[in-house]
Amino acid sequence: MHPILLFRLDFPKGWSIQNNDEAVLAQDEHQEVSILLQLKKRQKNQELCSLSRKTMDDEGYTFLTDDLIEINELKACIGSYRQTLDGDDVIVARVAHINHDKNIYFLFGYGVSDSFSFYEKEIEQSFRSFRVMDKRRAESIKPSKVSLYVVQSGDTWHRIQQDQSSGVVDAETLAILNGYSSEEDPLAGSQIKIVRSVGF
């Protein structure tokens, strides 16, 4: 969830996410495939797929195909593009322009062809998970920070999530953040990362 851009999007599991007030960038663990999300102002009478094609043409991409669809009751254009770089590397892109109110949410998934094809289904699922939030819901989201915690005897991911992270993230996410599966208990005496609300 992003309290400034007012959206929720489920990125592929295990991807790193960088937020600022104007954009969100998510990348796979090898930094070979990315999803960029930005908010753009919509020009009057601007058709979504025409906007998509112009945006990508300006970036040097070749149009392949697009469709006008709905994503969670919002009008959207999803398209596929490609770009050939020096050295013959091919960048494949999946792009969504989603209309809400007077704004356009621009989702740009891209990567080298072989790597992109591995994540293509997950990128499509991420795009289709997009939802807008109302301001009341956004204002209820508290900023968070990553801290270090020494695991105590008897600790489980669920207990740490409740007692130390104050429920900011779920137990499975906390385990994955530390390189464990959710079925493995943390090792007593080890130092792990936890997520806390700012001020907690």
Q: Looking at the 3D structure of the chain, how many domains does it have? A: 2
pLDDT value of residue 172: 80
Mean pLDDT of 52-65: 94
pLDDT in tens, 98-114: 998 778 899 999 999 99
- Pick from 118-127, 147-156, 168-177: least confident: 168-177
Angstrom CA distances, 162 to 22, 174, 197, stand at 31, 11, 12
Distance CA 40, CA 189 (A): 48
Considering the entire predicted model, what is its pTM? 0.65
- Among 118, 138, 158, where does a domain finish? 138
Q: Both 25 and 101 in a single domain? A: yes
75 within a domain of the structure (yes/no): yes
Closest CA to 171 of 181, 156, 161, 184: 161
pLDDT value of residue 200: 42
Beta carbons of 86 and 64 less than 8 angstroms apart: no
pLDDT value of residue 181: 75
pLDDT value of residue 133: 66
2 within a domain of the structure (yes/no): no
Tokens at 138, concatenated: 């956004």
Distance CA 94, CA 81 (A): 6
pLDDT value of residue 125: 93
Domain that holds residue 148: 142-197
Q: Both 133 and 146 in a single domain? A: no
Q: Both 149 and 128 in a single domain? A: no
CATH number at 102 reads 3.40.1000.10
Strands (E), 42-171: 62-71, 74-84, 90-100, 103-112, 131-132, 144-150
CATH number at 163 reads 3.10.350
Closest CA to 28 of 4, 11, 49, 42: 11
- Among 113, 138, 163, where does a domain finish? 138
Mean pLDDT of 55-61: 94
Q: Both 154 and 87 in a single domain? A: no
Mean pLDDT of 39-50: 81
Q: Both 29 and 124 in a single domain? A: yes
